[in-house]
């Protein structure tokens, strides 16, 4: 990841680098690793008004964007199925085209043959991230290139999986602080992939709008819980260790990449409504009000799982969500990057709401699955949550200028 992207990770605006101080103009943009500058008039116009729309994220680098870059307000996950007969050469062609689209759109330019290039001029920190399912990797390079963990997760008792949210050969994740930008990028990317693949599912997620809260505030999910407190910090050695994969032999292509587990988890707000704040906090092991552990007073306080009440019970229940999900050792840590979803209910319900639970980790089997297994066995939160979709993707590394995402597998 380039140094300016790391700075973005620390919450600094790339705009400051591009347009503030001495770093002005196309030369500065190149020096800072920006692949293509925004059309100057449009960028200057947005920047002069102090608008978030001008922010861009670097496309090229050792890792793909959208993983350790700051999380945007909107994300659309697209799961595609490869068409019959699409072979290795086709896949390389497809990824070249999609890479070119992503690069241009992220820089605030229209894609090639963009039918609405005007919509591309407000990137608002647009990122496009690609992932590969097992069938794509097999068609590209044979079964030996498929990492052992790339496939459906084991069946869990809590699952009520629906085909319409599960599996997929190609993943495209589009995220931005502006929903119009997302809609446009999604359409361009789908148009350019349609001779190779068709859309199997689409999942839209959202968090607070950029600027609504102080940058770095942990998100609240639609249960009202502070969600994402204990998570590796991008830019740290722990994060690198947890997230970036190292392949070898036939899976060497994945080095610098990672894996994504995407679970669509329904949250039953109707029954959650019946629970008071004390019981809500007990279920998680953290206070609903501020996310502090039940044994502490601030969100950042480490939970004390040994502390007991006067009656001799642990303050944090052994079946509270954080007691069950916390990793047993450092090899089990995952990086969570979730979004809320809220769609039209079917039938009489008031809402159909949940979490697009997304976690990145170097190895699904070693990191994600043991945690999910424990939650399957016991977790108070299971009373109100049901996984209804599940997909696992290999996220290839980033690419250099002139390359394309997936070139380590397909070139």
Tally of residues, the chain:
411
The reply to whether 367 sits near ligand HEM by the rule CB under 6 A is: no
Q: Which of 76, 221, 268, 295 binds ligand HEM (CB under 6 A)?
A: 221
Least Å distance, CB 6 to ligand HEM, is: 23
Q: Which of 90, 101, 227, 407 binds ligand HEM (CB under 6 A)?
A: 227
Nearer to ligand HEM, 228 or 406 (CB): 228
- Name every residue whose Cβ is closer than 8 Å to that of residue 27 and which is 6 or more positions away in sequence: none
The reply to whether 229 sits near ligand HEM by the rule CB under 6 A is: yes
Report the alpha-carbon distance of residue 325 to residue 30 in Å, rounded: 44
3-state secondary structure 49-102: CCCHHHCCCCCCCCCCCCCCCCCCCEEEEEEEEECCCCCHHHHHHHHHHHHHHH
The reply to whether 355 sits near ligand HEM by the rule CB under 6 A is: yes
Q: Are 77 and 129 in contact (CB under 8 A)?
A: no
Size of residue set near ligand HEM by CB under 6 A: 26
Least Å distance, CB 380 to ligand HEM, is: 11
The reply to whether 339 sits near ligand HEM by the rule CB under 6 A is: no
Least Å distance, CB 334 to ligand HEM, is: 6
* Residue list 90-109, contact with ligand HEM (CB under 6 A): none
The reply to whether 335 sits near ligand HEM by the rule CB under 6 A is: no
- What's the gap between Cα 162 and its chain centre? 21
- What's the gap between Cα 3 and its chain centre? 21
Nearer to ligand HEM, 98 or 388 (CB): 388
Pairing of strands 170-176, 385-395: unpaired
Least Å distance, CB 261 to ligand HEM, is: 8
Task: Tell me which DSSP letter residue 219 carries.
Answer: P
Question: Could you please report the per-residue DSSP string of 246-292?
Answer: ---GGGGGGTT-EEEEEEEEEE-HHHHTTS-HHHHHHHHTB-TTT--
Taking contact as CB under 6 A, which single stretch among the options 59-67, 181-189, 196-204, 370-378 is the one that binds ligand HEM? 370-378
Binding mask 280-299 for ligand HEM (x = CB under 6 A): ----x-x-------------
Nearer to ligand HEM, 38 or 381 (CB): 381
Taking contact as CB under 6 A, which single stretch among the options 34-42, 146-154, 317-325, 389-397 is the one that binds ligand HEM? 317-325
Binding mask 243-282 for ligand HEM (x = CB under 6 A): --------------------x-x-x---------------
Least Å distance, CB 233 to ligand HEM, is: 13
Q: Which of 372, 380, 391, 407 binds ligand HEM (CB under 6 A)?
A: 372
Q: Are 387 and 156 in contact (CB under 8 A)?
A: yes
Q: Which of 207, 287, 321, 337 binds ligand HEM (CB under 6 A)?
A: 321
Q: Are 171 and 393 in contact (CB under 8 A)?
A: yes
Report the alpha-carbon distance of residue 101 to residue 118 in Å, rounded: 15
Pairing of strands 258-267, 352-361: antiparallel
The reply to whether 360 sits near ligand HEM by the rule CB under 6 A is: no
Nearer to ligand HEM, 368 or 393 (CB): 368
Report the alpha-carbon distance of residue 77 to residue 95 in Å, rounded: 17
The reply to whether 46 sits near ligand HEM by the rule CB under 6 A is: no
Report the alpha-carbon distance of residue 109 to residue 76 in Å, rounded: 20
Q: Are 16 and 56 in contact (CB under 8 A)?
A: no
The reply to whether 239 sits near ligand HEM by the rule CB under 6 A is: no
- Distances in whole angstroms, Cα of residue 309 to Cα of each of 288, 293, 300, 305: 20, 14, 22, 11
* Residue list 162-191, contact with ligand HEM (CB under 6 A): none
Nearer to ligand HEM, 250 or 363 (CB): 363
Give residue 103's region: left, alpha or beta (phi > 0; psi -120 to 50). alpha
Report the alpha-carbon distance of residue 272 to residue 270 in Å, rounded: 6
Site residues, ligand HEM (CB under 6 A): 221, 223, 225-230, 263, 265, 267, 284, 286, 321-322, 325-326, 334, 355, 357, 368, 371-372, 375, 381, 385
């Amino acid at each position: 990841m380039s140094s300016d992207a790391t700075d973005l990770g620390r919450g600094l605006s790339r705009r400051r680098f591009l347009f503030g101080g001495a770093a002005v103009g196309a030369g500065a943009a190149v020096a800072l690793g920006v692949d293509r500058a925004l059309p100057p008039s449009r960028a200057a116009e947005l920047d002069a008004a102090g608008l978030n729309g001008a922010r861009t994220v670097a496309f090229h680098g050792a890792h793909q964007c959208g993983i350790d870059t700051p999380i945007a307000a909107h994300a659309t996950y697209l799961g595609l199925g490869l068409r019959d007969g699409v072979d290795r050469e086709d896949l390389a062609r497809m990824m070249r085209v999609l890479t070119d689209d992503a690069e241009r759109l992220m820089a605030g330019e229209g894609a090639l043959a963009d039918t609405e290039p005007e919509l591309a001029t407000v990137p608002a920190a647009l990122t496009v991230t690609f992932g590969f399912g097992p069938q794509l990797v097999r068609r590209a390079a044979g079964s030996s290139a498929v990492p052992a963990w790339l496939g459906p997760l084991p069946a869990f008792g809590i699952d009520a999986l629906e085909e319409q949210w599960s599996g997929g050969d190609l993943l495209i994740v589009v995220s931005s602080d502006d929903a119009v930008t997302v809609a446009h990028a999604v359409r361009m990317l789908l148009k350019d992939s349609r001779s190779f693949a068709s859309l199997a599912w689409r999942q839209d997620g959202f968090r607070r709008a950029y600027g609504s809260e102080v940058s770095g505030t942990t998100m609240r999910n639609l249960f009202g819980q502070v969600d994402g407190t204990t998570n590796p910090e991008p830019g740290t050695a722990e994060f690198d260790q947890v997230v970036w994969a190292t392949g070898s032999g036939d899976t060497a292509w994945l080095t610098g990449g990672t894996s994504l587990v995407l679970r669509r988890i329904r949250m039953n707000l109707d029954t959650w409504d019946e629970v008071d704040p004390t019981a809500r906090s007990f279920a998680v092991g953290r206070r609903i009000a501020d996310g502090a552990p039940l044994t502490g007073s601030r969100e950042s306080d480490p939970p004390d799982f040994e502390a007991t009440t006067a009656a001799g019970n642990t303050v944090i229940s052994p079946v509270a969500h954080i007691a069950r999900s916390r990793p047993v050792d450092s090899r089990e840590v995952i990086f969570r990057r979730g979004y809320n979803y809220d769609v039209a209910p079917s039938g009489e319900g008031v809402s159909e709401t949940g979490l697009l639970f997304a976690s990145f980790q170097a190895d699904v089997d070693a990191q994600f699955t043991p945690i999910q297994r424990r939650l399957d066995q016991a977790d108070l939160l299971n009373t109100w949550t049901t996984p209804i979709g599940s997909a696992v993707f290999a996220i290839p590394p980033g690419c250099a200028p002139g390359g394309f995402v997936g070139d380590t597998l397909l070139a």
